[in-house]
Structure 1
């Protein structure tokens, strides 16, 4: 990008690029190759969990790879071109994933894109998030609950690890964003009709064998 461009314009272009990258939904792009729209099946969400439930593991793996990759690319571009806005690019790519301009503003819930960006901006946090996510999933079988609690732990990790003001502030923003996009999951949990991923409830199965 030309050095003569004003910094504010560079930042705006970086954030726009992050949003447009986020709008490239893995499940919808791969779904077009298969002739399906996952938003018309299962929970109606364009995320990896619904892709797994409706299209199978291989399809879902491709979805997650695309969604992680676009988040990582958005954060990497921001670090190269407008480092001061790198954390904002994380929110922009998540927003693109949830409200994709290419797909009628009906996308997923932003978690995979956010994790992809964190792999570039704060990789240690990803290891902690994934560890907690797996523990909750194994114990409960609820993917949405595991995602919300993992995101909610980010501010705690930022404080314990003394991650600094930018990371701490955006940790809170990410946690709130994920809670918002998973609000229907939380409502269904409250009502007792949230879908449970039974095969992931390893703790329950181990107890049953004991």
Structure 2
């Protein structure tokens, strides 16, 4: 239990590293939450500061999610059955650490609970946990983005595909159903969609900006 709580705390702290906020402070001396969409994620950084800073923020946010689950694996695997064998207790501990990283990114304690929308950190979490699922989600995101030029739509479509991709990974790997991983997929989908609820309203109204427009309210961070 102590190691599980430690994994959760470290997951949250990793997720809460405010990369987008720090980019704004270091580059312009501004609080990015007062600019554009108000999010600390990579798309708002792209809109305000350009491609280079946005790429760095995106990579850091991805690494936060990957580091959270990999660190949890290192902490928890010595406790019993090796990860990857469907052990519920260990699966649940690692999944909880990943969700803690998403919570840290979305509601960072350092910024009064106002962070990003958890897509990049969620991608990193998946890449660390089930790489094939993470890559498939990223591919769906990029495909949708190339067709629509709308970041929020791409994020939501990728999130909605996650539970099906996770189920497919069980079948292809022959491991059987892993409830903790499926719960992770469902909770991640709910979190990403909920964080994009204002974007969804604009999508339905036909007013959501596309990449290349001077002002955007979307942010996958």
> Normalising to structure 1: TM-score of the pair?
0.87
1:154 CA displacement? 0.9
> Normalising to structure 2: TM-score of the pair?
0.83
Q: What is the aligned partner in structure 2 of residue 101 from structure 1?
A: 109
- How far apart in 2 are the matches of 1:162 and 1:17? 28
Using CA pairs below 8 Å that are at least 6 residues apart, which structure has the higher relative contact order?
2
List per-residue Cα deviations over 1:162-183 (Å, max 9, x = no partner). Answer: 2632222211111111101111
List per-residue Cα deviations over 1:82-129 (Å, max 9, x = no partner). Answer: 252111111110000000001111100011111111111010011111
1:198 CA displacement? 4.0
Please state if 1:150 is matched with 2:158.
yes
- How far apart in 1 are the matches of 2:54 and 2:199? 20
Q: Which of the numbers 41, 46, 55 marks the counterpart of 1:52?
A: 46
Tell whether the 8 Å contact from 2:11 to 2:100 is kept in structure 1 after alignment. yes
Q: What is the aligned partner in structure 1 of residue 218 from structure 2?
A: none
- Give secondary structure in 1 for the equivalent of 2:170: coil
- How far apart in 2 are the matches of 1:161 and 1:86? 17
- How far apart in 1 are the matches of 2:198 and 2:156? 12
Please state if 1:31 is matched with 2:24.
yes
In structure 2, stretches of 5+ residues that fail to align are 78-89, 172-176, 214-221
- How far apart in 2 are the matches of 1:42 and 1:135? 25
- How far apart in 1 are the matches of 2:54 and 2:104? 19
Higher deviation after alignment, 90-99 or 37-46: 37-46
Q: Which of the numbers 131, 134, 142 marks the counterpart of 1:134?
A: 142
- How far apart in 1 are the matches of 2:96 and 2:38? 28
- How far apart in 2 are the matches of 1:192 and 1:52? 23
Q: What is the aligned partner in structure 2 of residue 207 from structure 1?
A: none
Q: What is the aligned partner in structure 2 of residue 75 from structure 1?
A: 69
Equivalent pairs counted in the alignment come to 192
List per-residue Cα deviations over 1:23-63 (Å, max 9, x = no partner). Answer: 11210122221212211111111111111011100010111
In structure 1, stretches of 5+ residues that fail to align are 1-7, 200-210
Tell whether the 8 Å contact from 2:42 to 2:57 is kept in structure 1 after alignment. yes
Q: What is the aligned partner in structure 1 of residue 85 from structure 2?
A: none
- How far apart in 2 are the matches of 1:158 and 1:191? 31
